[in-house]
């Protein structure tokens, strides 16, 4: 039998597998840094288990950021859980996030998004709004804003909102015969994208950021993060962020020529959906009832997680979600990611990382807290800067620093949800596409036909300006309602 001889061109790709893929290079660098920390233990005052846990989290961050071979979030999650167990943490610590109410709101929330998409109710709501306005650049922006608020009220799942809105945005771009990645297409796509993120951040169940942030708060502060408090403290600033962002994008990115789409276009699209179905009606009733329970928790006392899970039961009983869709209706990779992310706070606490870091951070942070405006501006800017490194929504930074909210509240009277605004700005921040995982998802849905890198940068600057303006405007409001001194 003749031996097969490989040519140099066939051999080289195998030898240069790592060199040919920047993602693998990035992971190798991260692993080397982690090994240096784990083995050499260079951080003075931090016990060995703290060094080991930091090393484990750094490697997990590398997997989440670079995604070698497109590994799912589950890879980094499994590494953190296994690493925590290997280095002596118990199951109750490494899996603490999975018994948090946040995850039990998240799971039904993802199914809410699934049924909105499956039944067509989400698309019906979007076209119902679009056809109500005479097509124009400004009215298009107003339409996306209304659509964002309505979809946020029905599901906190940003993934699903993107899945509903971004294909419609691409359809609008095509209907207007706009050049892909042009100023006009970027205007439509970037406002549509932002409306999937920003408006719902203003109430506890309007975005995944709500349940996640409550999970990060120290136990002493969790009782303060009620639906009522969240809405009272954060609804106004996020309304301002949204409105200012849209206004700036209109000023800076609106094309000079008319939008070029007849009003009948959206009417025809809506008509093409056909009459509203039984499943849409049932889904709408259940989700609206769930929203009512969320907003009236103070009256009836049913926790948000209990209301969300009961709504999920009804969707199953009425057959809106089929048994075969249990595994596919919710993204379990995302659920595991958020569960482990929330576990980071107790992991850092148990491994003494928080105790080691608090004396380093606390003096600087507390020295600023005497002036709430300066404090909030600097913390917000710091969260945006850290997102250049802490790419997965800044969750590691939040987990490490949330413990400092206790003395900020006890000594200076700054409500933790006020400081949470800075964290939320960091979560929603983008200046470059890689910093915002939701943006990467939107680009995939748009098939990279929506915006260019320069458009993202301009829109990111609009968001930064909007966030800073919202803080300046809201400090007197927060002082008036007694949540800052």
Taking the C-alpha atoms of residue 418 and residue 375, their distance in angstroms, rounded to an integer, is: 11
Predicted structure pTM score? 0.77
Question: Do residues 241 and 462 make contact, with C-beta atoms less than 8 angstroms apart?
Answer: no
Q: What rounded mean pLDDT belongs to the chain?
A: 86
Segment 318-330, tens digit of pLDDT? 999 999 988 888 7
pLDDT at 10: 44
Q: For 365-374, what is the mean pLDDT?
A: 88
Rounded to whole angstroms, what are the CA distances from 393 to 140, 179, 224, 359, 423? 29, 31, 23, 25, 9
pLDDT at 20: 54
pLDDT digits (tens, 9 = 90+) for 72-81: 888 999 999 9
pLDDT tens-digit profile of 438-480?
887 788 778 788 898 899 999 999 999 999 999 999 999 999 9
d(CA 190, CA 197): 11
Residue 7's pLDDT is what? Answer: 43
Contacts 24+ apart (CB under 8 A), 19-23: 21/68, 23/66, 23/67, 23/68, 23/69
256 band by pLDDT with thresholds 50, 70 and 90: confident
- Is 308 or 250 the better-scoring residue by pLDDT? 250
Task: Name residue, tokens 């769930």.
Answer: 290
CA dihedral of 170, 171, 172, 176, whole degrees rounded to 10: 100
- The DSSP 8-state label assigned to residue 4 in this structure reads P
pLDDT tens per residue, range 297-355: 778 888 878 888 999 999 999 999 999 988 888 778 878 888 888 888 889 889 998 88
Reference 173, options 149, 152, 144; nearest CA is 144
The rounded distance, in Å, linking the Cα atoms of 13 and 28 is: 18
> Contact at 8 Å (CB) between 52 and 87?
yes
Q: What is the pLDDT of residues 209-245, one digit of tens each?
A: 888 888 888 889 989 998 899 999 999 999 999 999 9
Q: State residue 273 phi and psi, 5-degree precision.
A: -75, -15
With tokens 């195998």, the residue in question is 14
Q: How confident is the model at residue 370 (pLDDT cuts 50, 70, 90)?
A: confident
Q: Which run of H or E residues covers position 370? A: none
Q: Quick count: other Cβ atoms within 10 Å of Cβ 379?
A: 23
Are residues 137 and 257 in contact, defined by beta-carbon separation less than 8 angstroms?
no
């Amino acid at each position: 039998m003749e031996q097969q001889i490989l040519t140099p061109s066939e051999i080289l790709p195998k030898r240069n597998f790592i060199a040919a893929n920047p993602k693998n290079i990035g992971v190798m660098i991260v692993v080397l840094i982690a090994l240096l920390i784990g083995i050499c233990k260079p951080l003075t005052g931090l016990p060995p288990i703290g060094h080991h846990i930091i090393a484990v989290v750094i490697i997990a961050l590398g997997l989440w950021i670079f995604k070698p071979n497109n590994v799912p979030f589950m890879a980094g999650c499994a590494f953190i859980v296994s690493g925590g167990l290997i280095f002596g943490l118990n199951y109750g610590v490494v899996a603490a996030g999975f018994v948090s109410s946040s995850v039990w709101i998240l799971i039904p929330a993802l199914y809410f998004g699934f049924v909105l998409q499956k039944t067509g109710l989400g698309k019906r709501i979007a076209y119902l709004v679009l056809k109500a306005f005479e097509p124009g650049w400004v009215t298009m922006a107003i339409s996306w804003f209304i659509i964002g608020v309505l979809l946020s009220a029905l599901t906190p799942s940003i993934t699903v909102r993107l899945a509903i809105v971004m294909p419609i945005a691409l359809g609008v771009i095509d209907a207007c015969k706009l050049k892909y990645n042009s100023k006009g297409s970027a205007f439509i796509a970037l406002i549509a994208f932002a409306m999937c993120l920003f408006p719902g951040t203003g109430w506890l169940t309007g975005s995944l950021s709500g349940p996640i942030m409550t999970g990060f708060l120290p136990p002493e502060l969790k009782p303060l993060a009620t639906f009522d408090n969240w809405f009272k403290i954060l609804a106004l600033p996020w309304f301002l962020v949204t409105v200012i962002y849209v206004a700036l994008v209109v000023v800076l990115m609106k094309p000079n020529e008319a939008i070029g789409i007849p009003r009948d276009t959206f009417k025809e699209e809506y008509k093409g959906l056909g009459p509203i179905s039984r499943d849409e009606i049932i889904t709408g009733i259940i989700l609206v009832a769930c929203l009512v329970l969320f907003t009236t928790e103070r009256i009836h006392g049913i926790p948000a997680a209990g209301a969300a899970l009961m709504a999920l039961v009804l969707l199953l009983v009425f057959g809106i979600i089929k048994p075969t869709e249990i595994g596919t209706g919710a993204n379990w990779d995302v659920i595991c990611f958020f569960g482990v992310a929330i576990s980071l706070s107790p992991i850092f606490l148990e491994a003494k990382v928080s105790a080691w870091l608090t004396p380093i951070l606390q003096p600087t942070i507390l020295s600023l807290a005497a002036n709430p405006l300066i404090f909030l501006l600097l913390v917000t800017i710091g969260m945006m800067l850290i997102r250049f490194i802490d790419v997965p929504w800044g969750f590691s930074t939040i987990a490490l620093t949330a413990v400092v909210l206790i003395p900020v509240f006890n000594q200076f009277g700054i409500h933790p949800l006020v400081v949470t605004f800075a964290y939320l700005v960091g979560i929603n921040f983008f200046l470059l596409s890689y910093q915002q995982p939701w943006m990467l998802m939107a680009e995939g849905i748009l098939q990279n036909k929506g915006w260019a890198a320069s458009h993202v940068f301009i829109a990111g600057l609009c968001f930064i300006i909007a966030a800073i303006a919202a803080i300046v405007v809201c400090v007197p409001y927060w002082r008036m309602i007694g949540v800052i001194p």
